[in-house]
Chains A and B, each alone.
Chain A
Amino acid sequence: MPELNTSSLPDLIFSVLFFFMMVTTMREVTLLVRIDRPTGTQLEKLARKSCTSFIYIGRPATDQLRSKWGNQTRIQINDDFATDATQVYDFVMSDRNKLAEIDKPFYTVSVKADHETPMGYITDVKQQLRKGYALKMVYSANKPTNK
């Protein structure tokens, strides 16, 4: 019985590897705020993750951050805290410009906020989104866990 020729096995694995390398998004931000998202029953899936920007709202997550920033609710944009809500406008403008022209109508902003956040912060962010004509938004939430 001749041995099975495995010389093409590396090529095969490599092609699977390249597939995963391409679909992986490495641009995950580290969360600086603690977010316990609200739970909803009527959720939809986000259609295009590549056309979505994320805004995180919550209290600073670690003691180290709290000693520097206090325990107030903060808005996190990319890898930093926003000093005030107007930075949301700049963020939306620059992030949308990175997209290809055909993707721009699908630009969505996903707001990931802690469920204890006062609505004032959310309203401020929404006003900034309106100002920047980023009119599609998503209130990010968790699915209810099955009992």
Chain B
Amino acid sequence: MGKKRKMPGLNTSSTADISFMLLIFFLVTTSMDTDQGLARTLPKPPEDEDAKNELKVKERNILNIRINKDNYLMIGDDYVGLDEVKPRAKEFIANPENRANLPELKPKKCGILGTRMVTLNHVISVQTDRGTSYGVYFQVQDQLVAAYNELRDELGKQEFGYKYEFLSKEQKEAIRDVYPQKISEAEPKQYGKNM
């Protein structure tokens, strides 16, 4: 009595187990999966009604891809299947034979590749009906991106000996200058009717 007794140390040997349990809980609930998809930049909203008429493109510079409500595909005036989208798009973007019905080639400075003839003003426009299913639209978009990626890979191999993704920053920039991705996200409109 009255004699102070030494307090024994708190047994902390199980703290590690407790924090392990918490750790495992957070490990399990953490979702480390990253979202994947096709990135797009939308055009700015039209400032006023007059501005709508500004976007006029020559007929030969547009690749019109239309999908109707029954998910049939049209490129220009032909009905096509999904597997034809990529070759048609590649031909359209590159226009290697400088044909008159494909986009006009114009000289452009392309970084370390020097001045090249590229289809500067080409636009690919995908128009859909309100009833078109999103899956088909997405597949077409995917094929178009594939067309660009294949062209970039081909040019990369031809000029630098490697596919696009293995190139340096400047090389990538130069190739992007030759094949800039121009997929129109605009609302369906009448393009170039009076040209």
Chain B residues, CB < 8 A from A41: 142, 146
Chain B residues, CB < 8 A from A143: 36
Q: Taking chain B's interface residues, is the majority helix, strand, or loop, or is none over half, making it mixed?
A: mixed
Question: A102: CB under 8 A from chain B?
Answer: no
Complex interface: stretch among A19-27, A59-67, A76-84, A93-101? A19-27
Q: When the two chains form their complex, are residues A16 and B23 in contact, meaning their CB atoms are under 8 A apart? A: yes
Q: When the two chains form their complex, are residues A140 and B149 in contact, meaning their CB atoms are under 8 A apart? A: no
CB distance from A29 to the nearest CB of B (A): 12
- Selected from A49, A52, A122, A130, the residue in CB contact (under 8 A) with B137 is A122
Please, how many residues of chain A have a CB less than 8 angstroms from a CB on the other chain? 55
Q: When the two chains form their complex, are residues B132 and A140 in contact, meaning their CB atoms are under 8 A apart? A: no
Residue of A nearest to B32 (CB): A23
- Selected from B30, B40, B128, B142, the residue in CB contact (under 8 A) with A24 is B30
Question: A31: CB under 8 A from chain B?
Answer: no
Complex interface: stretch among B13-21, B50-58, B110-118, B171-179? B13-21
Q: When the two chains form their complex, are residues B146 and A141 in contact, meaning their CB atoms are under 8 A apart? A: no
Q: When the two chains form their complex, are residues B130 and A119 in contact, meaning their CB atoms are under 8 A apart? A: yes
CB distance from A74 to the nearest CB of B (A): 14
Chain B residues, CB < 8 A from A28: 31
Q: When the two chains form their complex, are residues B132 and A24 in contact, meaning their CB atoms are under 8 A apart? A: no
Question: A75: CB under 8 A from chain B?
Answer: no
Chain B residues, CB < 8 A from A127: 187
Given contacts A24-B30, A38-B134, contact A46 B42 (CB under 8 A): no
Q: When the two chains form their complex, are residues A38 and B139 in contact, meaning their CB atoms are under 8 A apart? A: yes
Q: When the two chains form their complex, are residues A20 and B39 in contact, meaning their CB atoms are under 8 A apart? A: no
CB distance from B38 to the nearest CB of A (A): 5
Question: A32: CB under 8 A from chain B?
Answer: no
CA distance A42 to B138 in the complex (A): 11
Question: A113: CB under 8 A from chain B?
Answer: yes
Chain B residues, CB < 8 A from A6: 13, 16
Q: When the two chains form their complex, are residues A119 and B137 in contact, meaning their CB atoms are under 8 A apart? A: yes
Q: When the two chains form their complex, are residues B35 and A40 in contact, meaning their CB atoms are under 8 A apart? A: no
Chain A residues, CB < 8 A from B100: none
Chain B residues, CB < 8 A from A121: 134
Chain B residues, CB < 8 A from A30: none
Chain A residues, CB < 8 A from B141: 40, 139
Q: Tell me the A residues contacting B by CB distance below 8 Å.
A: 6-7, 9-10, 13-14, 16-17, 20-21, 23-26, 28, 38, 40-46, 49, 52, 57, 108, 110, 113-123, 126-127, 129-131, 133-143
The contact sample of 11 A-B pairs, CB cut-off 8 A, is A7-B12, A13-B23, A23-B30, A24-B29, A41-B146, A42-B142, A44-B38, A114-B134, A118-B133, A119-B131, A120-B130
